[in-house]
DNA sequence: TTGAAAGCGGTACCAC
DNA sequence: GTGGTACCGCTTTCAA
């Protein structure tokens, strides 16, 4: 592994000069610079990030803090968006997944004194007050994606779940559905802020649009028998709860596309048709949604994350972001999983 | 940001001792160790990775080199598998995506002298001979996933595409399909090694099972008119080529589930039914496949990647891997996108 | 425009 | 068991 010194020796200059030449600070005579660069090329030289970091105080690392898994549609879109947003800047993107609560706690605890990252992007977490206090005092730039406490962070990009859910409920109403329901996530809604948020806005919208409590229902994972596990059986349970509900809903809003599609599949298995017997609206508009003809709320977390990365870059440069909170809109995409109530 | 020195001062010991205590080398009196740890906790101390790296020569970074995007099903499964495989070891996982050929070239060029990673995991790339030579001489452990030149790397995990394609073709034959076709990826097969590999094995299997060239056909992206872009129109073109083919295939093997599902959708739009008019077999068994009742070849890239990470860990420890090449099997999952030829 | 040298915050070897 | 200290490879003043 060649070092700056090696390059300097071969080029007949000092390490300082090599460093300057490689960083294109413009203070090196172009002739010297040329020579240095060619020597560096010959040696396949590349700077040691550790040494650079240590000397400069910048780690060139951005951490993406998320929960559960990297292989969900949402998270992978975020990763891609962050990656493209950071691309070409020299910053490395490091995913940090908090599978258990302790991971998250430890990470947050250590954050203030942790000199191992220059910037942090995080997705919506159910932070405790103590954690929020800690986060508030953070000295490294932090950008939140879909956070429910945006004011705590230096910047944030949030999806407007409220108007999204309103448009979904409005669609169902226009289609003549008089009894409607929300179906929560496959995983516990306690952890999935977005599902809970959407549920609240669903209820708000329903009330606003004149639905009475007798015509609104909510099905969530947390109501499921604790022994029920595996998405197959959760879906089966959802399906039977919905079918046997005294409120007899004819239209459903699901917290995600994946859930919506699973429900459609679950209904089909017991001979119930979507959209003939039930109208279903999803959320996300993932690639499969189009293929399954799902009516859904389209969101673009890739774009969201890219924007988050761009804000973070500004903040890390010490600049102000032009817009501290950015709200992204979801748009209703009507396909064929919804139809007029019969 | 507290340093080792700060902790040492407050604990009344030397930095060496603090370092040893924090690394639990076992050479520190437990009483001293306790005191040190409590001081460290108080100070919210955490080691500087840059400094540790520089001093120890280990970067504690593993790079995952891949192409195109982080938001594909396959890549996100790999990310998750690598992350879980590396979890708890202190290694950071850093994705490196080569969108353009130049990125890949530059990365490979720089690799031998690049002291910025301790290990490398890479997915199948169409490497040139020069690059392979470079890779062969690498001094950092390298593990390949689904590589077509596994002998170049210290270890690898590969999917057995051959037997997978054989079982798909066999299924179609048993179902009585006398004219069959392979449909290549939505993106250029030139870049997608796996698609090309599968195509070759599809042809091998077909020949082996007695299909003659008159009853075998291949549709690929590269045949498409260059002006055709966007997956919608590519699918439309695939569909019309297939429908107008003089060989009149009645069964198709698609390179991926996503393609298979897109084809089903495309057929449906022109009033052609799957499986009534065409049988289709996908590849991957992504979550949606079940929901769309797709017959497919199930593979588990998460598991594959996790295994790759485990092998890499061994190699980075200087140990031998017990199995240098591991072959993963895909299994045929028969659902309802295939049926007996009419 | 260039060079010398003082760190950056650890690790690990060598003493004691 | 513990402390002293020479690096690790680079950045960044300060001086020339």
SS (H, E, C) chain A: CCCHHHHHHHHCCCHHHHHHHHCCCCCCCHHHHHHHHHHHHHCCCCCCHHHHHHHHCCCCEEEEEEECCCCCHHHHHHHHHHHHHHCCCCCEEEEEEECCHHHHHHHHHHHHHCCCCCEEEEECCCCCHHHHHHHHCCCCCEEEECCCCHHHCCEEEEECHHHHHHHHHHHHHHCCCCCEEEECCCCCCCCCHHHHHHHHHHHHHHHHCCCCHHHEEEECHHHCCCCCCCHHHHHHHHHHHHHHCCCCCCEEEECCHHHHHHHHHHHHHCCCCCCCCCEEEEEECCHHHHHCCCEEEECCHHHHHHHHHHHHHHHHCCCCCCCCEEEECCEEECCCCCCCCC
- Kindly tell me if the per-residue pLDDT of A244 is higher than 80: yes
What pLDDT does B236 receive? 93
- Across A20-35, average pLDDT: 93
Task: Give the distance, in angstroms, between residue B12 CA and nucleotide D14 C1'.
Answer: 35
Residue numbers in B near A75 (CB within 8 A): 76
Q: B44 versus B304: which is more confidently predicted?
A: B304
Domains in chain A: ranges and CATH: 4-56 (1.10.260), 61-159+301-328 (3.40.50.2300), 161-299 (3.40.50.2300)
Please give the helix or strand (H or E) that residue B7 lies within, else none: helix B4-11
Residues linked to residue A284 through DSSP beta bridges, in sequence order: A298
What pLDDT does B228 receive? 64
- Kindly tell me if the per-residue pLDDT of A106 is higher than 90: no
Task: Give the distance, in angstroms, between residue A7 CA and nucleotide C12 C1'.
Answer: 27
Tokens, residue A187:
């995983």
- Tell whether A268 lies on the interface with B, counting CB pairs under 8 A: no
Tokens, residue B159:
């999917």
What pLDDT does A270 receive? 96
Q: pLDDT of A28-71, one tens digit each? A: 999 999 999 999 999 999 999 999 999 999 999 999 999 879 99
What pLDDT does B256 receive? 95
What pLDDT does A191 receive? 65
- Across B130-137, average pLDDT: 88
Contact: B1, A288; criterion CB under 8 Å: no
Q: Tell me the pLDDT band of B312, cut-offs 50, 70 and 90.
A: very high
Q: Tell me the pLDDT band of B186, cut-offs 50, 70 and 90.
A: confident
Tokens, residue B104:
């890949």
Q: pLDDT of B210-244, one tens digit each? A: 999 999 999 988 766 666 667 788 899 999 999 99
Question: d(Cα A84, Cα A65) in Å, to the nearest integer?
Answer: 17
User: E-assigned strands of chain B?
Assistant: 61-67, 92-98, 119-123, 142-145, 155-159, 180-183, 216-219, 251-254, 279-284, 295-298, 325-328, 331-333
Task: Give the distance, in angstroms, between residue B117 CA and nucleotide C4 C1'.
Answer: 31
DSSP state of B72: S
Which one, of B126, B194, B122, B123, lies nearest residue B165 by Cα? Answer: B194
Using the structure block, give the residue that is written with the tokens 């009419």. B342
- Kindly tell me if the per-residue pLDDT of B314 is higher than 90: yes
Q: Tell me the pLDDT band of A129, cut-offs 50, 70 and 90.
A: confident
Contacts (Cβ under 8 Å, ≥6 apart) of A163 = A329, A330
User: What percentage of chain A carries pLDDT values higher than 70?
Assistant: 97
What pLDDT does B129 receive? 87
Residues 45-104 of A with CB under 7 A from strand C: 51, 54-55, 57
What pLDDT does B102 receive? 84
- pTM for this entry: 0.95
Question: d(Cα A159, Cα B70) in Å, to the nearest integer?
Answer: 22
Q: A101 versus B314: which is more confidently predicted?
A: B314
- Kindly tell me if the per-residue pLDDT of A163 is higher than 90: yes
**Kindly report the CA angle at B288 between B286 and B293, in degrees rounded to 5?**
105
Cβ-contact B10, B43 below 8 angstroms:
yes
Nearest to B46 among A75, A114, A302 (CB): A114
What pLDDT does A3 receive? 95
Contact: B113, A43; criterion CB under 8 Å: yes
Question: d(Cα A290, Cα B265) in Å, to the nearest integer?
Answer: 9
Question: d(Cα B32, Cα B21) in Å, to the nearest integer?
Answer: 8
Cβ-contact A213, A179 below 8 angstroms:
no
3-state secondary structure of B283: strand
User: What percentage of chain B carries pLDDT values higher than 90?
Assistant: 78
Question: d(Cα A176, Cα A171) in Å, to the nearest integer?
Answer: 9
Contact: B93, A95; criterion CB under 8 Å: yes
Q: Tell me the pLDDT band of B103, cut-offs 50, 70 and 90.
A: confident
Question: d(Cα A163, Cα A61) in Å, to the nearest integer?
Answer: 35
Using the structure block, give the residue that is written with the tokens 């639990």. B24
DSSP state of B46: -
- Across A101-120, average pLDDT: 87
Which one, of B179, B172, B182, lies nearest residue B212 by Cα? Answer: B179
Cβ-contact A265, A251 below 8 angstroms:
no
Mean pLDDT of chain B: 93
What pLDDT does B99 receive? 80
A113 CB below 7 A from strand D atoms? no
Q: Which of A174-183, A240-249, A310-319, B221-230 has the lowest average pLDDT?
A: B221-230
Interface of B with A in 113-132 (CB under 8 A): 113-116
What pLDDT does A102 receive? 84
- Strands A279-284 and A251-254, how do they pair? parallel
- Across B38-45, average pLDDT: 93
A56 CB below 7 A from strand D atoms? yes
Cβ-contact A281, A253 below 8 angstroms:
yes
Q: Tell me the pLDDT band of A332, cut-offs 50, 70 and 90.
A: very high
Q: Tell me the pLDDT band of B191, cut-offs 50, 70 and 90.
A: low
Contact: B291, A264; criterion CB under 8 Å: yes
Using the structure block, give the residue that is written with the tokens 């250590």. A110
- Kindly tell me if the per-residue pLDDT of B202 is higher than 70: yes
- Kindly tell me if the per-residue pLDDT of A229 is higher than 80: no
- CA A340 from centroid of its chain's CA atoms: 33
Nearest to B113 among A2, A50, A287 (CB): A2
What pLDDT does B112 receive? 78
- Tell whether B6 lies on the interface with A, counting CB pairs under 8 A: no
Exposed/middle/buried for B139, CB within 10 Å: 0-12, 13-18, 19+? exposed
- Kindly tell me if the per-residue pLDDT of B190 is higher than 70: no
- Across A177-198, average pLDDT: 84
Strand C: which bases are under 7 Å from protein Cβ?
Answer: 1-5, 7-13
Tokens, residue B141:
């452990």
What pLDDT does B196 receive? 86
What pLDDT does A225 receive? 65
Question: d(Cα A203, Cα A162) in Å, to the nearest integer?
Answer: 10
Q: B8 versus A114: which is more confidently predicted?
A: B8
Nearest to A292 among B44, B99, B291 (CB): B291
């Amino acid at each position: 592994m060649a070092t700056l010194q090696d390059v300097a020796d071969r080029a007949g200059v000092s390490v300082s000069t090599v460093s300057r030449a490689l960083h294109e600070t413009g203070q090196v005579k172009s002739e010297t610079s040329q020579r240095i660069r060619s020597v560096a090329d010959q040696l396949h030289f590349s700077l040691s990030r550790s040494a650079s970091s240590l000397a400069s105080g910048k780690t060139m690392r951005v951490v993406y803090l998320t929960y559960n898994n990297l292989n969900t549609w949402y998270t992978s879109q975020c990763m891609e968006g962050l990656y493209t947003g950071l691309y070409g800047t020299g910053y490395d993107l490091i995913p940090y997944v908090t599978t258990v609560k302790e991971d998250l706690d430890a990470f947050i605890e250590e954050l203030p004194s942790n000199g191992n990252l220059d910037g942090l992007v995080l997705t919506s977490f159910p932070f405790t007050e103590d954690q929020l206090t800690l986060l508030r005092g953070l000295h490294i730039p932090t950008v939140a994606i879909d956070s429910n406490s945006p004011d705590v962070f230096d910047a944030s990009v949030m999806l407007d779940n409220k108007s999204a859910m309103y448009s979904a409920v409005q669609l169902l109403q226009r289609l003549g559905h008089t009894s409607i329901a929300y179906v929560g996530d496959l995983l516990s809604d306690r952890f999935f802020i977005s599902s809970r948020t959407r549920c609240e806005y669903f209820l708000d919208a329903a009330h606003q649009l004149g639905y009475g409590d007798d015509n609104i229902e909510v099905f969530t994972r947390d109501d499921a028998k604790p022994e029920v596990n595996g998405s197959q059986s959760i879906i089966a349970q959802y399906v039977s709860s919905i079918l046997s509900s005294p409120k007899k809903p004819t239209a459903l809003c699901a917290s995600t596309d994946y859930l919506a599609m699973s429900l459609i599949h679950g209904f089909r298995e017991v001979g119930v048709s979507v959209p003939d017997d039930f109208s279903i609206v999803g959320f996300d508009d993932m690639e499969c949604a189009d293929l399954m003809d799902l009516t859904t709320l389209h969101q673009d977390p890739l774009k969201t994350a890219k924007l988050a990365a761009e804000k973070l870059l500004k903040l890390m440069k010490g600049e102000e972001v032009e817009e501290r909170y950015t709200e992204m809109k979801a748009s209703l995409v009507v396909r064929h999983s919804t139809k007029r109530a019969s």
